């Protein structure tokens, strides 16, 4: 469903900076952030998980639409509320999956993500990047 890359805006707050796992082609994310083998494997797994969860939620949306009465304004409002609840669930799943992927980023990858978010005027998800034993952190760079 096209609702996968949704930016959630809360009041006057900046929109979240969605990584787009499961929506953006895995190879694009891998190339941009130069993911290692383990990160690539997790990305594929997370993408599949998001697709599965969104398929379940899409079926729920279809059931809401098909089964909910729509003969008056009150029923239409109730339908809208139910629809919004499922869409909010889709946004939450996207956020959860993106945060799980971002937590696998090393500090340099996460800094790059933050920079891209800043350039896009979006609020990055806050996660603690992973320090990998084979990563060399050059403080002079």
Give 52's contacts (C-beta < 8 A, 6+ positions apart). none
Q: Tell me the C-alpha distance between 91 and 8, whole Å.
A: 7
Give 32's contacts (C-beta < 8 A, 6+ positions apart). none
Q: Tell me the C-alpha distance between 82 and 78, whole Å.
A: 6
Residue found by looking up tokens 């953006």 in the block: 24
pLDDT tens for each residue of the chain, 141 residues long: 323 333 333 344 579 999 999 999 999 999 999 999 999 999 999 999 999 999 999 999 999 888 888 888 998 899 999 999 999 999 999 999 999 999 999 999 999 999 999 999 999 999 999 988 765 555 544
Could you tell me which of 1, 11, 16, 14 has the C-alpha nearest to residue 92?
Answer: 16
- Domain segments of the chain: what residues? 2-119
Please tell me the predicted confidence (pLDDT) of residue 115: 97
Please tell me the predicted confidence (pLDDT) of residue 97: 97
Q: Which pTM value belongs to this model?
A: 0.79
Q: Tell me the C-alpha distance between 57 and 75, whole Å.
A: 21
């Amino acid at each position: 469903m096209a609702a996968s890359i949704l930016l959630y805006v809360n009041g006057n707050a900046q929109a979240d900076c969605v990584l787009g796992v499961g929506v953006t082609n895995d190879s694009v994310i891998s190339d941009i952030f130069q993911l290692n083998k383990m990160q690539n494997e997790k990305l594929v797994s997370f993408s599949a998980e998001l697709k599965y969860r969104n398929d379940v939620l899409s079926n729920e949306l279809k059931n809401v639409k098909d089964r909910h009465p729509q003969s008056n304004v009150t029923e239409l409002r109730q339908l809208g509320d139910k629809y919004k609840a499922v869409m909010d669930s889709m946004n939450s799943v996207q956020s959860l999956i993106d945060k799980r992927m971002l937590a696998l980023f090393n500090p340099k990858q996460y800094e790059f993500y933050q920079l891209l978010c800043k350039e896009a005027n979006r609020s990055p998800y806050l996660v603690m990047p992973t320090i990998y034993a084979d990563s060399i952190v050059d403080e002079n760079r």
